[in-house]
Every structure is written in C-alpha cells, then in structure tokens.
Chain A
Amino acid sequence: MNGKVDRQLVDLVNLLTLDTAWCGVVMGDGWVMANTLGVLGIQLPMTDESLTVLKSEPEDRDLLRRIRRGEIDRYADLISRYQRHVIRIVSRRVPADRAEEITHDVFVRAYVGLAKFSGSVSFEHWLAGIAVRTCYDFWRERKREELPVSALTNEHHQWIEQMLATQSENQFYNLVRRREATEVLEWALGQLSPENRAVLTLVHLDGHSVREAAQLLGWSVVNVKVRAHRARQMLRTLLLERKRQEDDTTQ
C-alpha cells in the first residue's frame, strides 16, 4: 500500500518537474512554484530567450508591411532570413529526405497565414510554431497511412549495451555520435502517437518549457504537461520491455 502511495507521489513529482527531468538542469523548488503559477495562468518571465523577444525585429516589420501592401517578392527576403532557422527545427523532427519538402511547406503555410500574424510575438517564434505544427501534421498523415515502424537490430542492442557500460564522458559522446543512436531514437519516437511524439520532442529533447511547447503547438498547458509525462513514461516502458525481451532471448 505504502509502495503504491510512494509511486503515485513519485509520479506527481515527475509530473510537476518533468521539464527538468531529461535536460539535467538542476533547479530548486522555486521552479516548481513558477511552473504551477504558469498553470494557474499567472504570467512569469520566460526562460527561453527566443520567446522573451516578443516584438518582431524592425527589418521584419518593414518586410511584412511591404508584403502586405502587395510587394510579394519581398517574401523571398524573409525566406533567406529564416530558412536556416526553419530547417533546424524541421530536420530534428522528420526524416532527412523529407526535410526540404517540409521546409517548403512551412514557408507556404506561413505566407497563407500572414494575414493572421498580429505581431504580438516575434516573426521567428511565430514561424517556429508553424514549423512544429507542420511536422506534427506530417506524422499524423504518416500514421494514417500506417507505414511500418523499423525494428531494432543486434547493432542497436549492442549500442544500448555499450552505452550502459560506458564510464567516461568521451566514450559517451563517441557513442552518441554513432548512427545507431539516431536510429534507436527514431525507433522509440516511431512507437509513440504523433501527439506524444511532438510533445516529447519539444519538452524532453529540445528542452522547451511546457508553456513554450504549448504556445508552439497551440495546445493548452495542461494538455502538454499531461502528454509530456505520459510520453516519457511510455518511452521508459518501451525501453524496459525491449531490454527484457532481449535478455530473455539471450538466456
């Protein structure tokens, strides 16, 4: 009974502190309080610098004004300005061979949505939201097509074993740079729903706060918080099950 209560307590603490869980950022009780206040709708200074720049840069404002007046060709300047920013977001979310196509879609969607851009946040941040949502739509579409998810091979299991055995930081980063690392990550993300995948990538892998992730996805803070917790639990269960199966076959 006590164990169950303890487990629930641990889950609750995980849920409250999940932003810091993977990033290894050590923060005190103040952060938990700050995040709780955020859930209650009380605005606090944001941690991500890209979101603290609330207003668009003057150059962007000028370009946007000219585009709205009908100088469509000026949109090419915005593309040149932000294509690296968009590809950085997109390439971490979709297969490499689809990244350029999705980047193209992001810029077209951004143009179509320009009438709705109020300027209350920076253009860069607004564009990031479109990029994140376009990648989420990509995975939703893919799920509908029910494409098979690749399985883990012996090489991947060996990589996990080596990772667990590693002691030094150098060895750790050498293993991280190997192809198997990305493949194991892709396998794990492929097991999740598009919603959980999007949240896990933003919160646990990119290191965004729950509130930032909610803004980028256009979802509620509570929804993102619950999904982030569940997605991480699912991933842990997946890794544990896979390891158990592997141990059973080798014995």
Chain B
Amino acid sequence: MTQLNDQNLKKVERALTEAHRLRQEPSLGADLTLRVMRDVRREASGHGQSMITLGLDLFVWRTAAVAAVLALVFTGSVLFYPDQEAVELTALLSNELDVVVPLSE
C-alpha cells in the first residue's frame, strides 16, 4: 500500500484538478432559448410592477440613510450642547408654554 504523504497528496489533488478541467460539457437542447424566452416573457409581463418595487426599495433606503444622519446630528447636538444653554432653552420653552393665552378669552 502506498503511503499518502504530502507529496502523494499533491499528486491526487493535481489529478482531481485535471479531472475537473476535463469534465465533458453536456450538449444543450435546441429548445433551451425557447424555454428561457417563454419564462422571460412571463417575467416581463410583471416587469412594470418589479420596477416600481425596485424604485420603492431605493427610496426607502435613501430615506433611511437621511433619517439616520439626522438622528446622529441631533444626538450629537444634545450631547455636546453646553448645559447652561440647555437650561436657558428649557426655561424659554417652559415660559412660552406658561404665557399661552387660553382659547376661551
């Protein structure tokens, strides 16, 4: 029995590689194009819908990207906004709410 050492392994690997390259290509049926075209026409009948779906996908992803950037900017501004100014802003907003004129007047 031949020992399967590194050198022998390489020989078997090379044989398998060559076997892969020498594989026979099966002959294609004459009606392959016809069958593909039949399915393609069927796909084409629903093509308009798929194009809309593709456009919608793009729109959703682009909107998501813009929303993510805006969220980051907002988070960053909250984190880095000076505390004093934040307090003033809160006070301003609360005063605004305090002085709202009741609708009944």
Q: Check A23 against B19 for contact (C-beta < 8 Å).
A: no
Q: Is A9's beta carbon under 8 Å from chain B? A: no
Q: Check A181 against B19 for contact (C-beta < 8 Å).
A: yes
Q: Residues of A contacting B11 with CB < 8 Å?
A: 163-164, 166
Q: Residues of B contacting A188 with CB < 8 Å?
A: 16
Q: Residues of A contacting B33 with CB < 8 Å?
A: 76, 79-80, 83
**Nearest Cβ in chain A — how far from B52, in angstroms?**
11
**Nearest Cβ in chain A — how far from B101, in angstroms?**
57
Select from chain B the residue with minimum beta-carbon distance to A201: B20
Q: Check A247 against B1 for contact (C-beta < 8 Å).
A: yes
Q: Is A211's beta carbon under 8 Å from chain B? A: no
Q: Residues of A contacting B14 with CB < 8 Å?
A: 22, 24
Q: Is A185's beta carbon under 8 Å from chain B? A: yes
Q: Is B8's beta carbon under 8 Å from chain A? A: yes
Q: Check A87 against B28 for contact (C-beta < 8 Å).
A: yes
**0 or 1 for each of B1-26: is its CB under 8 Å from A? (1 = yes):** 11010001101111111111111111
**Nearest Cβ in chain B — how far from A127, in angstroms?**
13
From A104, A115, A247, B51 is in contact (CB under 8 Å) with A115
Mostly helix, strand, loop or mixed at chain B's interface? helix
**Nearest Cβ in chain B — how far from A231, in angstroms?**
12
Mostly helix, strand, loop or mixed at chain A's interface? helix
Q: Residues of B contacting A92 with CB < 8 Å?
A: 20, 23
Alpha-carbon distance between A24 and B17 when the two chains are bound, in angstroms: 11
Q: Residues of B contacting A243 with CB < 8 Å?
A: 4
Q: Check A75 against B37 for contact (C-beta < 8 Å).
A: yes
**0 or 1 for each of A210-242: is its CB under 8 Å from B? (1 = yes):** 000000000000000000000000011001100
Chain A positions within 8 Å of B, measured between CB atoms, are 22-24, 72-73, 75-76, 79-80, 83-84, 87-88, 91-92, 96, 99-100, 103-104, 107-108, 111-112, 115, 160-161, 163-166, 172-173, 175-177, 181-182, 184-185, 188, 201, 204-206, 235-236, 239-240, 243-244, 246-247, 250
Top 9 closest pairs, chain A to chain B, by CB: A181-B19, A164-B2, A205-B20, A243-B4, A176-B18, A107-B36, A185-B16, A111-B40, A79-B33
